[in-house]
Amino acid sequence: MNLEEFKNQLSALEKIYFQLPSGALVPSHFHVTEVAKVEKEFVDCGGEFRKEEKISLQLWEADDYDHRLHPEKLIAILKTAESTLSLKNVDIEVEYQGNTIETYDLNFSKGEFLLVSKKTDCLAKDQCGIPEKKLKVELSGMTNNACAPNSGCC
C-alpha cells in the first residue's frame, strides 16, 4: 500500500486497527513513534545496482492505556512528514516489536490494516545459476503406490 492509499483509507475510518499475520490485533493504545523516509541503494547478487525508496511507520505500545491514536491525528503526522521529508507516494512498510523489530508490508481489508509478512528473494535468479522449479508431471498409468514393495516396479 502506498502513502496516498493509506491516507485515503485512514480518512474513512473512526478507529485505526492493525492486524498481525497471526490474526491478533496490535493493542489499541499503540503509538506511531516515527515516520521515516527509507532510501536504499544496493547491488544485487548479479552485480546490478538498484535503488528503492519506502516510507516506514514504527508502531510502539507503552503502558499508556488511556490514549488512542485517531485517524485524523495520524493523517496530520503524515502530512508533516510529507512536507518535512519530501515524501513521495511510495509503498509503506510497518515496523513493530516482535522477537526483534519486525518489518511488514501493508494491506487493508474490512476496516483493518493488515501487517503482511515479508520474505527475502533473489533479485537476479537468471544470473545466480539457481534452476527454476520444474512442474511435477504424473505419468499416465502410474499410481501412487506403483513402486511400493512387492508392486513389481523394481
Per-residue pLDDT of 14-44, as tens digits, reads 999 999 999 999 999 999 999 999 999 999 9
pLDDT value for 58: 97
Q: Burial, 35: exposed, middle or buried (Cβ in 10 Å; 0-12, 13-18, 19+)?
A: buried
Alpha carbon distance 25, 60 (integer Å):
13
Q: Is 90 exceeded by the pLDDT of residue 8?
A: yes
What CA–CA distance (Å, rounded) separates 107 from 128? 31
Residue 145 has pLDDT above 70, yes or no: no
